[in-house]
C-alpha cells in the first residue's frame, strides 16, 4: 500500500509543473555564528541519483524530494536531496536509486572543518580557500588600490537587506586612437544562486590573473588593451551571506514572501519571457519567480547596470554545478536568431576549457541542454527588445558533475578558475578583436630546417561579421632583418587554414605574424600588436628516433604486476564503434590501434574495462640526441582515445600514462587522463620536463575501472619519439653548439694522435689537407 508521501506525490501529478521544485529547509532565524558553520543542519539526509523512465515518475520524485540538485532533470538519472522518509517513499515507487552523497551533513561538516583548517594555515594563497562576502569585497578593494592604472571600482546598488553589490572594471590605459571609453565590454558575474560558492571564487580568479598578466602576458595585455572586463562576484549578497551563517544550501535571495516562506530565485525574476516554463509560482519552491518581473533589487541592480553600459557585447553568468556551457534560449526550445554564432562560441569556449585540465564541458542552449528556464539573465541580456542591443550571453555551470555538488572542495577552486579563465579569454578575444586567430595544434615550437614549415590556424571574424575573401595571410621573414613577406593562407575547410613559413637555416629563427580583414575594413592580427610584436620560433631539424603506427605488436607488452581487470584487456585490433570507443584507428594508412577490447558487444558496457586495471607497455626506445647533432630536446608524442563519461558513476575513473628512462625500473607520470573528448586526441611532451632522455625509454598506458560503475574505454595509436636539434657545425668539434677555442684544441689533439676523428674531409686519411680545411671552417665559425 502506498504510504502518505507517495499518495501526496501521486495527487500532485495533476498540478502545474511550475509547482514542482520543493524548497530546501525553510529559513531559520538569522544568526551570526562563526563563518563556515551554518546552523541549519541536514542530519540523515542524502543525495541520491534516481533513474526515472517517464515524466510521471519524474514528477513524483521531484515532489517527494527535499531538493533537486541535478541540472538536467528529465527522463533518466536525476540527483535529489532526500530525508530517510523521502528516500523510502521513492524506493517504494520501485525506482532504481543510487546513493551519491551518503551523508549530506557529514559533507557540510567536512567542508566547514576544511575551511577552518585552511584559515589556520598562513602559507595558503587567497584562492586556496573559500571566502566570505566581506573577504571578497576587501580583496576587490585591494586589487583596485594596487592597480590604479587598470582598475576602477563600482557598486551596482544594494540588496534587499542593504548590502552593497560591488564590482571592478579592468582595462588598459588610453592608447593613441584606442580610448578606454570606446572599448567593448565583457561582463563576468556570479552567485545569483547563493549556495554556488565556486562561482565568486572563479570570477575573482579571473580578476587576479588578468591583473597579474597585464604587461607581462602578451595575450592578456592585448585583450585588456582592446576591451574592458567587468567583474561582479556576488550578485545575491544577502543569500551568499546566509549560506555562511545559517543555511549552507540556501539558493534564493532573502525576500520575506508573507506566507512563512523566504526567497525569490533571482535567475527566474528577469523580465524577458518572465513567468513561462521552468519557473515556479510557489513561494516555497527553489525556482520561485517572484510576484512580478524585476521585483527584486538584486535583479534590478544588474539590469540597471547593463542598461547603463551600452558598450557591453558579451557576458557569462557563472553557476554550479554540472560542467556546462549554456547559451540562449532558456524559455523555449526554438533556436535563437544567432544560433550559428552561439554554436561557434560554445565550441571555442569548450575547447579552451578542455585545453587546460582535460575536462570537457557540455555545450548547448539552456532549454535543451539543462531544462526549461524562463525569466533568466541570459535570455534577458540577449533577448530581443530587452536591451538597446543584443549581448552574446552565456551561463557556465562549473565543477563538478555531482560527486560533491554545491560543496565542491576548496582544492578545486584553482583548477576550476584556470580552465574557465581559458574559456573567458577565448570569448574575450572574440569580442575584443575584429578577427580571432587560434591554433588547433598550438603555435609551432620550432620551424623545420631546409624546408617550409606548415601549421594550422583557425581564422574567424568577430561575431556577426565575415572575413574578406583572400585576406587571411601570414607575414614572415627568415632571421630578424628585412621586410615581412606576405603569403595567403590555404583554406583546408570551414575556418581552418594552413600557414606556411619560409625555408630558413638551422640554428637561426623565423619571425612571423598573421593578418586578416573584414568587409568593414577592420584588420585583425596575431599577435594583436603586430608587426611591432611577432612570433619567433627557432629553426631546427626534427630527427625521428622511434615511430610506431600500431599495426603490429612489435615488442609491446600487455599486462603488468597487479593487473586484475576482468574485461577490456588491451589488444591490437581494428576497433568497432560504440558510444564510448572509436570505430577506426587514427592512422591515415592502416586500420589497427591498441584498444581496450575492440568488439562492440551488445551494449556500450559489454566489453569495457571492468574489475581493475589493464596495462599496455611499449618496447624500449632511444630518446638521446643522435651523433653529429648538437644537444637537442627530446619529445614523445601519441594519439589517444579515452571515454569515462557514461555508466552509473560517470567521470570517476582515470588513466595514468607514464614514462620510464631506465627500461621500466621506475616510472614517472606524463598525464592523468580524465577528459572525454569522444575523439582522437594528440598529446606531445618534452621528455626532459619529466625524466632525463636516455636510450632506455618506455611508455605505459594504464586503463582502469576502480569499481565506481563508469564505462571505461581507451585506445592508443601513432606513437612517435623525436629529437629537435641542429647538425653540428663543421668546426664545432665537440658538438656542443658553439665554435670556441676548445674545439680547436680538441681537433689539434686528435690530429696529433692521428685519430680518424680528425679526418675532416672524410677521405679516410688524416693529412695536412684535413688540418687546413678545419682551420678555414674554424675561421668561418
Catalytic sites, residue numbers: 397
Peptide bond into 374 cis (omega under 30): no
Quote the cell numbers at residue 544: 625521428
Residue position matching grid coordinates 594583436: 528
Q: Do 379 and 332 contact (CB within 8 A), yes or no?
A: no
Helices vs. strands in the chain: H and E counts, helices first: 15, 32
Residue position matching grid coordinates 695536412: 768
Displacement of CA 620 from its chain's centroid (Å): 34
Quote the cell numbers at residue 91: 524506493
Quote the cell numbers at residue 495: 575556418
Q: Which residues contact 584 (CB under 8 A, 6 or more apart)?
A: 574, 575, 577, 591
Peptide bond into 527 cis (omega under 30): yes
Q: Do 191 and 396 contact (CB within 8 A), yes or no?
A: no
Residue position matching grid coordinates 588578468: 210
Nearest CA to 266 out of 301, 299, 302 is that of 299
Q: Do 348 and 438 contact (CB within 8 A), yes or no?
A: yes
Quote the cell numbers at residue 168: 571592478
Calpha distance 644→141 (Å, rounded): 43
Q: Do 327 and 390 contact (CB within 8 A), yes or no?
A: no
CA distances from 195 to 24, 131, 245, 428, 744 (A): 11, 13, 12, 27, 72
Reported residue count of the chain is 781
Nearest CA to 371 out of 78, 151, 100 is that of 78
Calpha distance 394→376 (Å, rounded): 11
Neighbouring C-beta atoms of residue 15, cutoff 10 Å: 12
Calpha distance 772→191 (Å, rounded): 77
Q: Do 527 and 513 contact (CB within 8 A), yes or no?
A: yes
Quote the cell numbers at residue 317: 553568468
Paired strand residues for 457: 497
Strands (E), 171-311: 185-190, 228-232
Quote the cell numbers at residue 117: 583548517
Nearest CA to 367 out of 376, 354, 358, 380 is that of 376
Calpha distance 466→539 (Å, rounded): 34
Quote the cell numbers at residue 452: 617550409
Quote the cell numbers at residue 430: 572574440
DSSP string of 535-598? B-PBEEEEEEEEEE-SSS-TT-EE--TT---SB--EEEE-----SSS-SS-S-SS---EEEE--
Displacement of CA 494 from its chain's centroid (Å): 23
Alpha helices of 128-249 — where are they, by DSSP H? 133-146, 198-213, 218-224, 237-245
Q: How far apart are the first and last CA of the chain?
A: 96
Amino acid at each position: 500500500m502506498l504510504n502518505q508521501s507517495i499518495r501526496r506525490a501521486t495527487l500532485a501529478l495533476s498540478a502545474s509543473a511550475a509547482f514542482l521544485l520543493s524548497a530546501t529547509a525553510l529559513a531559520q532565524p538569522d544568526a551570526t555564528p562563526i563563518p563556515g558553520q551554518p546552523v541549519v543542519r541536514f542530519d540523515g539526509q542524502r543525495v541520491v541519483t534516481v533513474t526515472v523512465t517517464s515524466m510521471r515518475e519524474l514528477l513524483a520524485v521531484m515532489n517527494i524530494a527535499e531538493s533537486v540538485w541535478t541540472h538536467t532533470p528529465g527522463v533518466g538519472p536525476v540527483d535529489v536531496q532526500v530525508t530517510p522518509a523521502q528516500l523510502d517513499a521513492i524506493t517504494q515507487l520501485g525506482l532504481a536509486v543510487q546513493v551519491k552523497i551518503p551523508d549530506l551533513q557529514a559533507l557540510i561538516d567536512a567542508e566547514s572543518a576544511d575551511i577552518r583548517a585552511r584559515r589556520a594555515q598562513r602559507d595558503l594563497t587567497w584562492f586556496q580557500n573559500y571566502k566570505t562576502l566581506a573577504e571578497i569585497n576587501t580583496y576587490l578593494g585591494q586589487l583596485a588600490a594596487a592597480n590604479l592604472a587598470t582598475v576602477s571600482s563600482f557598486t551596482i546598488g544594494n540588496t534587499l537587506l542593504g548590502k552593497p553589490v560591488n564590482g571592478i572594471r579592468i582595462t588598459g590605459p588610453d592608447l593613441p586612437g584606442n580610448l578606454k571609453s570606446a572599448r567593448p565590454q565583457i561582463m563576468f558575474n556570479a552567485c545569483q544562486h547563493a549556495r554556488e560558492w565556486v562561482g565568486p571564487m572563479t570570477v575573482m580568479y579571473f580578476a587576479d590573473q588578468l591583473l597579474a598578466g597585464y604587461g607581462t602576458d602578451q595575450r592578456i595585455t592585448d585583450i585588456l588593451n582592446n576591451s574592458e572586463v567587468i567583474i561582479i562576484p556576488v550578485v545575491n549578497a544577502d543569500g551568499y551571506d546566509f549560506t555562511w551563517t545559517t543555511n549552507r544550501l540556501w539558493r534564493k535571495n532573502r525576500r520575506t514572501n508573507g506566507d512563512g516562506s523566504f526567497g525569490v530565485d533571482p535567475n527566474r525574476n528577469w523580465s524577458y519571457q518572465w513567468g513561462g516554463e521552468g519557473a515556479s509560482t510557489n513561494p516555497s519552491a527553489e525556482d520561485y519567480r517572484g510576484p512580478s518581473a524585476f521585483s527584486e533589487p538584486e535583479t534590478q541592480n544588474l539590469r540597471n547596470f547593463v542598461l547603463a553600459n551600452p558598450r557591453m557585447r558579451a557576458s557569462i553568468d557563472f553557476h554550479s554545478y554540472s560542467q556546462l556551457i549554456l547559451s540562449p534560449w532558456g524559455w523555449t526550445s526554438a533556436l535563437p536568431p544567432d544560433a550559428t554564432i552561439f554554436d561557434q562560441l560554445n565550441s571555442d569556449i569548450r575547447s579552451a576549457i578542455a585545453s587546460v585540465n582535460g575536462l570537457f564541458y557540455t555545450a548547448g542552449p539552456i532549454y535543451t541542454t539543462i531544462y526549461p528556464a524562463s525569466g533568466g539573465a541570459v535570455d534577458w541580456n540577449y533577448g530581443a527588445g530587452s536591451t538597446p542591443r543584443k549581448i552574446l550571453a552565456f551561463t557556465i555551470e562549473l565543477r563538478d558533475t555531482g560527486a560533491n555538488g554545491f560543496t565542491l572542495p576548496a582544492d578545486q577552486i584553482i583548477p576550476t578558475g584556470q580552465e574557465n579563465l581559458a574559456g573567458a579569454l577565448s570569448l574575450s578575444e572574440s569580442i575584443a578583436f575584429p578577427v580571432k586567430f587560434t591554433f588547433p595544434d598550438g603555435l609551432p615550437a620550432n620551424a623545420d630546417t631546409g624546408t617550409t614549415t606548415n601549421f594550422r590556424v583557425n581564422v574567424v571574424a568577430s561575431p556577426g561579421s565575415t572575413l574578406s575573401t583572400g585576406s587571411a595571410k601570414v607575414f614572415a621573414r627568415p632571421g630578424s632583418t628585412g621586410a615581412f613577406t606576405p603569403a595567403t593562407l590555404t583554406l583546408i575547410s570551414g575556418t581552418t587554414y594552413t600557414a606556411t613559413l619560409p625555408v630558413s637555416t638551422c640554428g637561426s629563427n623565423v619571425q612571423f605574424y598573421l593578418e586578416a580583414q573584414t568587409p568593414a575594413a577592420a584588420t585583425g592580427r596575431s599577435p594583436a600588436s603586430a608587426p611591432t610584436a611577432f612570433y619567433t620560433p627557432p629553426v631546427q631539424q626534427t630527427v625521428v628516433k622511434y615511430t610506431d603506427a600500431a599495426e603490429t605488436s612489435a615488442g609491446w607488452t600487455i599486462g603488468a604486476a597487479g593487473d586484475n581487470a576482468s574485461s577490456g584487456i588491451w589488444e591490437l585490433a581494428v576497433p568497432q564503434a560504440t558510444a564510448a570507443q572509436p570505430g577506426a584507428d587514427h592512422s591515415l594508412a592502416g586500420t589497427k590501434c591498441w584498444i581496450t577490447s575492440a568488439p562492440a558487444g551488445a551494449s556500450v558496457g559489454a566489453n569495457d574495462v571492468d574489475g581493475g586495471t589493464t596495462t599496455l607497455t611499449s618496447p624500449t626506445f632511444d630518446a638521446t640526441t643522435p651523433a653529429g647533432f648538437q644537444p637537442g630536446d627530446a619529445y614523445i608524442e601519441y594519439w589517444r582515445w579515452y571515454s569515462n563519461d557514461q555508466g552509473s558513476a560517470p567521470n570517476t575513473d582515470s588513466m595514468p600514462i607514464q614514462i620510464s628512462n631506465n627500461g621500466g625500473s621506475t616510472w614517472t607520470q606524463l598525464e592523468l587522463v580524465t577528459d572525454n573528448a569522444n575523439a582522437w586526441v594528440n598529446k606531445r611532451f618534452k621528455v626532459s620536463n619529466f625524466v632525463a632522455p636516455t636510450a632506455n625509454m618506455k611508455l605505459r598506458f594504464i586503463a582502469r575501472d576502480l569499481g565506481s560503475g563508469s564505462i571505461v574505454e581507451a585506445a592508443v595509436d601513432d606513437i612517435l619519439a623525436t629529437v629537435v636539434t641542429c647538425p653540428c657545425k663543421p668546426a664545432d668539434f665537440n658538438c656542443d653548439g658553439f665554435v670556441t677555442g676548445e674545439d680547436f684544441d680538441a681537433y689539434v689533439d686528435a690530429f696529433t694522435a692521428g685519430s680518424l676523428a680528425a679526418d675532416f674531409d672524410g677521405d679516410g686519411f688524416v693529412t695536412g689537407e684535413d688540418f687546413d680545411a678545419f682551420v678555414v671552417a674554424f675561421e668561418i665559425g
